[in-house]
Amino acid sequence: TVLVVDFGAQYAQLIARRVRECHVYSEIVPSTMPVSELLARRPKAIILSGGPSSVYAEGAPRVPAELFAAGVPIFGICYGFQAMAQALGGTVAKTGVAEFGRTPLRVTTEGVLFAGLPAEQTVWMSHGDSVATAPEGFTVTASTEATPVAAMEAPERGLYGVQFHPEVLHTEHGTAVLKRFLDAAGCRPTWTMLNIVEDAVEKVRETIGPKGRAICGLSGGVDSAVAAAIVQRAIGDRLTCVFVDHGLLRKGEAEQVERDFVAATGVKLRVVDAADRFLKALAGVTDPEAKRKIIGREFIRVFEDEQRAIIAAADAPVDFLVQGTLYPDVVESGGGTGTANIKSHHNVGGLPDDLKFTLVEPLRTMFKDEVRRAGEELGLPPAMVWRQPFPGPGLAIRIVGEVTRERLDILREADAIAREELSRAGLDREIWQCPVVLLADVRSVGVQGDERTYGHPIVLRPVTSEDAMTADWARVPYDVLERISTRITNEVREVNRVVLDVTSKPPGTIEWE
């Protein structure tokens, strides 16, 4: 394991992902973790991440000098680099020149980190303070115009540091630099998808034991599907999956779960067709938050009923509940130590008070892209593995107005056409997601054939995004938009107008409700 010590910037997760891309397992630990505890984990190497503080700031996290004498190879990045320099007797100073963004770097000595790499390269910088003098015994290997000590190393002690961010893609040879560190630290590239899946299966087997039973809620999304497939491999029929079909999924998605997923994994599945119940509860409701609350509440009720039925039917106790918690959730909730971290997300259901479960979270160490690759490894249907983000409340929050069965049918058809054409145009990876929205309470005049129509508009909302926190409207080629528009107005009788949403987020959210 390579431990990434998180000094509180957003870069730690990125570093861990890059290390894993080099096929070396990596975990993130908080900078408050005592040195003894860090070392007790027997890391092969340690990476000190960047951070927002100045090493001179009050309460700035420090790195005790003893860590550097422990014999574990250490790579300091940005703040971690400065903390290393300071702890070992170098000096860090405010040069008055901050560097942000792409910066030319001059390699003066190839050493270990830059072996075989060009002498001139572009790196990504983000810092105010700089290392003014390297600690004794270190070789300075690179500089920039504003930063005389932009990289340093003491290979015989296993210590390396760079001021720039090798984990950021704008750093031309960032991954190569990281790889050279990992190689020098003796980290072998053994972390492959097959190993990841096998490890996860083995861990679940240990947790649940030879007799234990588990329940898992499937949502149609990739996380719960991969989690369930892993647990199925581990314990077979002692896992029961529950799929609550709330009738608000897109065309073909319920079949994907009921048929394709079951065929691919052999999972034991109970399907609850609860569409009527959800529609009844949603009758007359137009407020988006009210819709969400109702759907969440109904979901938990149905799921609890199923749990009780499964427990009643089982000849042995059902002690485990499977959840698709991902590594970023674990890191962000300050976990990583195995504390229960229950998402209140209605997709998986809250834990009912009178039912006590131990959580099984086979994706706790995985990033989203790893979950997808694990899904491929497990042979899940590609449409499920590569599904773009889709909200738990489903199409209910894409009908502006009351949700009815007829309106859902209209939206489902229009959405299926838009998805099909976007896929056909090869835009699935480029586009983060494309909500298709029915303005159910709006009508406009049209002419179709020789007849005047009075139909509803459909809104296309294709966006690009990194994390859904911000987004931009996607520049979908006109001919693709034209095909979508023509097909929807031809094939979906109730729709006579297709409009494009060209708002970024902020100010608009991705969904319309």
Spell out the SS3 assignment of 452-474: EEEEEEEEECCEECCCCCCEEEC
Minimum CB distance to ligand XMP smaller for 241 or for 510: 510
Binders of ligand XMP in range 459-478 (CB under 6 A) = 468
Minimum CB distance to ligand XMP smaller for 212 or for 462: 462
Element holding 243 (H helix, E strand) = strand 239-245
Give dist(CA 443, CA 157) in Å, integer.
73
Using alpha carbons only, give the angle 181, 176, 27 rounded to the nearest 5 degrees: 55
The two three-digit tokens of residue 97, written as one number? 């020149």
* φ/ψ of residue 402, rounded to 5: -70, 145
Q: Which stretch binds ligand XMP (CB under 6 A): 404-412, 417-425, 485-493, 502-510?
A: 502-510
Cis peptide before 507 (omega within 30 of 0): yes
Minimum CB separation from ligand XMP for residue 305, in Å?
A: 22
Residues near ligand XMP (CB under 6 A), total: 11
Q: Which of 127, 165, 346, 456 is labelled catalytic? A: 165
Minimum CB separation from ligand XMP for residue 389, in Å?
A: 4
Minimum CB separation from ligand XMP for residue 292, in Å?
A: 5
Asked whether 484 and 498 are in contact (CB, 8 A), the reply is yes
Cβ-count burial 245-258 (b if 16+ within 10 Å, e if not): bbbbbbbebbebbb
Binders of ligand XMP in range 270-329 (CB under 6 A) = 292
Q: Does 511 bind ligand XMP (CB under 6 A)?
A: yes
The identity of residue 35, as a single letter, is V
- Sequence-distant (≥ 6) Cβ neighbours of residue 308 within 8 angstroms: 355
Asked whether 324 and 226 are in contact (CB, 8 A), the reply is yes
Minimum CB distance to ligand XMP smaller for 344 or for 490: 344
Give dist(CA 435, CA 402) in Å, integer.
18
Give dist(CA 153, CA 203) in Å, integer.
38
Minimum CB separation from ligand XMP for residue 133, in Å?
A: 47
In 3-state terms, what secondary structure has residue 147?
coil
Q: Please compute Rg for the chain using Cα positions.
A: 27
Minimum CB separation from ligand XMP for residue 459, in Å?
A: 13
As a whole number of Å, the end-to-end CA separation of the chain is 43
428 is in an annotated binding site: no
CA dihedral of residues 396, 398, 400, 402 (deg, nearest 10): -20
Minimum CB distance to ligand XMP smaller for 208 or for 463: 463
Q: Does 91 bind ligand XMP (CB under 6 A)?
A: no
DSSP 183-236: HHTT------HHHHHHHHHHHHHHHHTTT--EEEEE-SSHHHHHHHHHHHHHHG
Q: Which stretch binds ligand XMP (CB under 6 A): 176-184, 200-208, 494-502, 505-513?
A: 505-513
Minimum CB separation from ligand XMP for residue 481, in Å?
A: 21
Q: Which of 78, 187, 216, 434 is labelled catalytic? A: 78
**Known catalytic residue: 22?**
no
Q: Does 394 bind ligand XMP (CB under 6 A)?
A: no
Per-residue interface string for the shown chain with ligand XMP, residues 395-434, x marking contact by CB under 6 A: --------------------------------------x-
Minimum CB distance to ligand XMP smaller for 18 or for 461: 461
Minimum CB distance to ligand XMP smaller for 49 or for 323: 323
Give dist(CA 319, CA 323) in Å, integer.
13
Minimum CB separation from ligand XMP for residue 230, in Å?
A: 22
Tell me which residue of 259, 384, 219, 230 sits closest to 320, measured CA to CA: 230
Minimum CB separation from ligand XMP for residue 452, in Å?
A: 35
**Known catalytic residue: 27?**
no
214 is in an annotated binding site: no
Minimum CB distance to ligand XMP smaller for 198 or for 511: 511
220 is in an annotated binding site: yes
Q: Does 222 bind ligand XMP (CB under 6 A)?
A: no
Taking CA atoms, 402 is separated from 98, 139, 223, 238, 258, in Å, by 54, 68, 30, 41, 28
Minimum CB distance to ligand XMP smaller for 153 or for 513: 513
Residue of 43, 76, 80, 393 that binds ligand XMP (CB under 6 A): 393
237 is in an annotated binding site: no
β-partners of residue 497 are 457
Per-residue interface string for the shown chain with ligand XMP, residues 353-392, x marking contact by CB under 6 A: ------------------------------------x-xx
Asked whether 7 and 80 are in contact (CB, 8 A), the reply is yes
Q: Which of 27, 99, 153, 167 is labelled catalytic? A: 167
Q: Does 510 bind ligand XMP (CB under 6 A)?
A: yes
Minimum CB separation from ligand XMP for residue 301, in Å?
A: 18
Minimum CB distance to ligand XMP smaller for 441 or for 467: 467
Asked whether 239 and 209 are in contact (CB, 8 A), the reply is no
Give dist(CA 27, CA 363) in Å, integer.
13
Taking CA atoms, 69 is separated from 74, 78, 87, 178, in Å, by 10, 20, 11, 21
**Known catalytic residue: 172?**
no
224 is in an annotated binding site: yes
In 3-state terms, what secondary structure has residue 244?
strand
Per-residue interface string for the shown chain with ligand XMP, residues 1-40, x marking contact by CB under 6 A: ----------------------------------------
Binding-site residues, in ranges, read 219-225
Binding-site residues for ATP, in ranges, read 219-225
Interface with ligand XMP (CB under 6 A): 292, 389, 391-393, 433, 468, 505, 509-511
Positions marked catalytic: 78, 165, 167
